[in-house]
Structure 1
Amino acid sequence: MSTIELKQLTFGFDNQAQSLFEKADLTIDVSWKLGLIGRNGRGKTTLLNLLRGMYPYQGTITHQVSFNYFPQSIKDASQLTYDVLNEVANVEIWQIEKELRLMQTDAAVLWRPFASLSGGEKTKVLLGLLFSDHEHFPLIDEPTNHLDQQSRKQIAQYLKNKKQGFILVSHDRAFVNEVVDHVIAIEKQQLISYQGNFATYEEQKSRRDQYELDQNKKLQTEIGRLKQTASEKAEWSRGREKEKFGNRHVEGSGAIFDRGAIGARAARTMKRSKTLVRHMESKIASKEQLLKEIETIDRLIMNYQPSYHKTLISVKNLQLAYEQSLFEPISFQLAKGERLAIQGNNGSGKTSIIHYLLGMFAGQIAGEITMPENIRISYVRQNYEDNTGTLAEFAAEHHLSYEILLNNLHKLGLERHIFNTRIENMSMGQRKRVELAKSLATPATLFIWDEPLNYLDVFNREQLEEVIQSVQPTMLLVEHDETFLNNIATQVIKLHHE
């Protein structure tokens, strides 16, 4: 049995307040189909890079395998796809064609420029390249971004049928559930292994967290009792200390006292009480050390302003086209408090419908639409590279509460030291959180979100589900994550080509 072993692994970046990993131990069987889970910024991609030997670290990492990483770096996307793949690794064409067939993808994509491929096609050819190499252990980092549901199912089945093991980072719960047989979770700077898929991990972690919560309650009750006892003993000790000086009122009455005897007795009693107080304080400290730090997910703030209109969008026989129609005619109504999800394969016109509703569609339009005038819309875009400046400048530009923006960003997992970073210098995951936090902070009667979950971790997704279920806003959204849609959508329409 070949393994990857991490012993006492400690690593952190210089600009971080604490280490990502602190004396973490882990043993991985290379036959496992392993899902790597953790909040954004906790070190999932960093761990993959540590396995690849890209950073210095403390501790040891030992293995008998070498690694291949997805997504591979592409130098010149204008070349034919086959030439691009050959630049990354010397591979026979039949090997790539075989892997593409397993993903139900036409091998003709190999003879198109790589830049012209859709996001799903790029993912498939790079995964095909990854698994054409049987000598290296695959590290797969976020393969589902921008993939439609059909492509996700094809790739999930493809990975599920693979006999070799791999490590997979993905925030799509249904995808991970379908593919993996073990989970590694990054929790409080440690690496904790679970046998089973993501659902098994959630169930086991929930039980462990509940047990630790119950233990914490017992400890806190005991600590409270000890503190009360220590306080009473300390007060009693202070009372005994006063005896050393006698009682002025009693002495003034003419009574005779042996001041020395009283002082000696009081001193002995005070010493015993102080010793007891120190013992109590020591016991309290030891109990407090047993308290478990249980990670909680904070509730987000959503600035929903309900409309007095009962129906916000009414569409009848809508059809959009660029020379050719993008989809068959559709009709729908979106009432106040409803959440409409638009589904369809990549290129079927989902984002075009959003652009049409926002007055941004430049193609041909047929059909009817009714919307109230001056409706306040909050929009999450797929492409948000034009967000720039400091967070304070960004909040002022978009007329947002700076406090609410920072509050939501911190709850979404953005560390406070990142608050001083200009948006254009942030990572894509951090920039996505800025775009999402902007939408949450914008006062709106209608929220339109276009693929909001890309780059977000499973915990962020649960946060969004919770705030949507609590606030019950009116929404129209495009998203491929089935679990998310099942939890928040009240109606779904699917687009079909004519």
Structure 2
Amino acid sequence: MSKIEIKNLTFGFDTLAEPLFEHTNLTIDTQWKLGLIGRNGRGKTTLLQLLLGEYVYSGAITHQLAFTYFPQKVLDKTQLTYDCLQTLAVFDLWEIERELNLLQTDPEILWRPFASLSGGEQTKVLLALLFIDDRHFPLIDEPTNHLDITARQQVANYLQAKRNGFIVVSHDRSFVNEVVDHVLSIEKSQLVLYQGNFSTYEEQKEQRDHYEQEENRKLKKEIGRLKQTAAEKAEWSRGRERDKQGNPNQKGSGAIYDTGAIGARAARTMKRSKAIVNRMEEKAEEKKGLLHDIEDIDALTMNYQPSYHKQLLKVEELQLSYADVPLFEPLSFEIKQGQRLAVQGANGSGKSSIIQFLLGEFHGQVSGNASLAHGLDISYVRQNYEDNTGTLQEFAQAHHLSYEELLNNLHKLGLERKVFTNRIEDMSLGQRKRVELAKSLATPAELFIWDEPLNYLDVFNHEQLEAVIQSVQPSMLVVEHEVTFLENIATKMIYL
């Protein structure tokens, strides 16, 4: 039985005030199907990279494994997809074609430039490369990003059938629930290992949070009672001291103005008061140990500017094609003020191409008509945002945004303040996605166009976005594969 042993691991980036891991100890059985979860920026991807030996750290990580990592990094995306894959691994063409067919993807995409593939198609070809490798231990980072419902289930089926173990990072609750038998949660202050799937984790986490909240309530109540008692005794002691000082010539044993008796009693009371204060401080210190790992979820803001136009967008008999091959049947729809249109469909069906066309960025063939309201202000969340660079202040200035509003939403989305000084290009993928999303939320707009906004975001963020959309009721066009999210925010849907 092989194990991954982590002993006294300490690691942090120079740009962070605190280490991501400090004196961490952990043993992982390589037969486990382990789900690695936690809010973005807590170090999930970093932990995988530490296992791969990509960073210098203190402590020890020991194992007898050869790892493979998903997603593999494609250096030259202008190459044919087949040539890109050849630079990443050794395989026979039939193997990759077999896996693509199992993923219900036409192997012909191998002969298209990698950059021309949709986000889902890129994910599938890299998954195909992962699936033909049975010699390495898989470290799988967000495999469901950009995948439609069918493809997510196919990946889940593959991992369910896998005899050996793996470590998978994912924020898709139903996916993790299906494929793992252990969960490692990176909390605010600790690593917590659970035996079971995501439902087991949620149940036990809720019980632990409830216990801490109840203990916190009891401690606060007791601290309040101790504070009042200490104040009363201190006040009595000060009052007796005033009595003694106000009657310096009064004498008599045990009388109310007996200065000796008053002094002794006042001293004893003051001593008891100080003891109560000490107990109160101990209780307060005990309280500090609680609630460290309970997540706070604050309401987001959205800079929606209702339009004076009743109809924002109208599309009639639209059909987009590449090399004279249509992506979908002719399509008609409209978006009026306050409506939220969700576009669904399989990977490669043309969802993102519709957005590119509306924004004037589609380079294939077009038939049909589309009209946008004159002077319409649009806020756009892109699938690819690698060109976001610089400091957050520079970024806000470049996009004419309120720096304070940008930081406020970023903090509410879970970006810790210590990360605010980092350059965007040095942030994790999840943190960079939050920057892209916070930019859109802060941009004054009559129409929000979001292309797969939930990729790299955690469950708490999904709920925050649902809440702000339900509250603000903006006009939107949304492409997303997360059905629950769409059911909660969309006023109408179309299927390609």
TM-score (norm. length: structure 1):
0.85
Quick one: which amino acid aligns to residue 411 of structure 1?
A: K
Using a 3 Å threshold, how does the CA distance of structure 1 residues 94 and 306 change in structure 2: closer, same or farther?
closer
Please say if residues 131 and 138 of structure 1, whose CA atoms lie closer than 8 Å, have aligned partners that are also in contact.
Answer: no
Question: What is the rounded CA distance, in whole Å, between the counterparts of 1:315 and 1:75 in structure 2?
Answer: 37
Task: Give secondary structure in 2 for the equivalent of 1:396.
Answer: helix
What is the match of residue 441 of structure 1? 442
| Residue 275 of structure 1: aligned partner | 271
| Contact 2:147/2:481 (<8 A) preserved | yes
What residue identity is the alignment partner of 1:279? A
Change (3 A) 1:395 1:186: same
Structure 1 residues 471 and 182, CA gap change in structure 2 (3 angstroms) = farther
**Equivalent residue letter for 1:161:** A
Task: Give CA deviations for 1:441-486 in whole Å, capped at 9, x if unaligned.
Answer: 1222321111222332333223212222232222111122233223
Q: Does the 8 A contact of 2:183 with 2:196 survive in 1? A: yes
Matches of 2:309 and 2:51, distance apart in 1: 56
In the alignment, what sits opposite 1:226?
Answer: 226
Q: Which residue of 2 aligns with 1:344?
A: 345
Sort the Cα spacing of 1:337 and 1:214 in 2 relative to 1 into closer, same or farther, 3 A.
farther
d(CA) in 1 for partners of 2:7, 2:477: 48
Q: Partner of 1:140: helix, strand, or coil?
A: strand
Which residue does 1:176 correspond to in 2?
Answer: 176
TM-score with structure 2 length normalisation?
A: 0.86
Partner of residue 465, structure 1: 466
What corresponds to 2:432 in structure 1? 431
* CA-CA distance at 1:37 after TM superposition: 0.7
Q: Which residue of 2 aligns with 1:127?
A: 127
* Contact map agreement 1:396 1:402 (CA 8 A) in 2: yes
**Which residue does 2:379 correspond to in 1?**
378
Listed one character per residue, the Cα deviations across residues 178-231 of structure 1 (whole Å, up to 9, x for unaligned) are 332322111123111233333443343233323322222222111111111112
Map 1:58-137; keep pairs closer than 5 Å: 58-74=58-74, 85=85, 87-91=87-91, 96=96, 99-100=99-100, 102-105=102-105, 119-137=119-137
Q: For the structure 1 residues 321 and 107, does the alpha-carbon distance in structure 2 shift closer, same or farther, using more than 3 Å as the test?
A: closer
Fraction of identical pairs, as percent: 65
The change in CA–CA distance for 1:75 and 1:404 in structure 2 (over 3 A counts) is closer
Contact between 1:24 and 1:189, CA under 8 Å: does it hold in 2? Answer: no
Structure 1 CA distance for aligned equivalents of residues 178 and 494 of structure 2: 25
User: For the Cα contact (< 8 Å) 2:251–2:259, is it kept in 1?
Assistant: no
TM-superposed CA distance for 1:317, in Å, is: 2.9
Instruction: State the one-letter code of the partner of 1:176.
Output: V
- Mapped contact 2:139–2:168 kept (Cα < 8 A): yes
Residue 202 of structure 2 is aligned to residue 202 of structure 1: yes
Residue in structure 2 matched with residue 45 of structure 1 by the alignment: 45
The secondary structure found in structure 2 opposite 1:194 is strand
Displacement after TM superposition at 1:87 (Å): 5.0
Query: Within 5 Å, which residues of 2 pair with 1:88-487?
Result: 88-91=88-91, 96=96, 99-100=99-100, 102-105=102-105, 119-247=119-247, 262-291=258-287, 292-293=290-291, 294-307=294-307, 310-322=310-322, 323-361=324-362, 364-369=365-370, 371-424=372-425, 426-487=427-488
Q: What is the alpha-carbon distance in structure 2 between the residues aligned to residue 455 and residue 360 of structure 1?
A: 24
Q: Tell me the CA shift for residue 124 of structure 1.
A: 3.7
Quote the Cα distance in structure 1 between the aligned partners of 2:331 and 2:375: 24
Counting matched residue pairs gives 490
How far apart, in 2, do the equivalents of 1:407 and 1:155 lie?
36
- Cα deviation for residue 60 of structure 1 reads 4.7
What SS does the aligned partner of 2:258 have? Answer: helix
Q: What whole-Å deviation, never above 9, does each CA across 1:241-281 have from its counterpart, x for those lacking one?
A: 32442337xx6xxx666899834323322322232222222
Unaligned runs of 5+ in 1: none
Is 1:243–1:262's contact at 8 Å kept on the other side of the alignment?
A: no
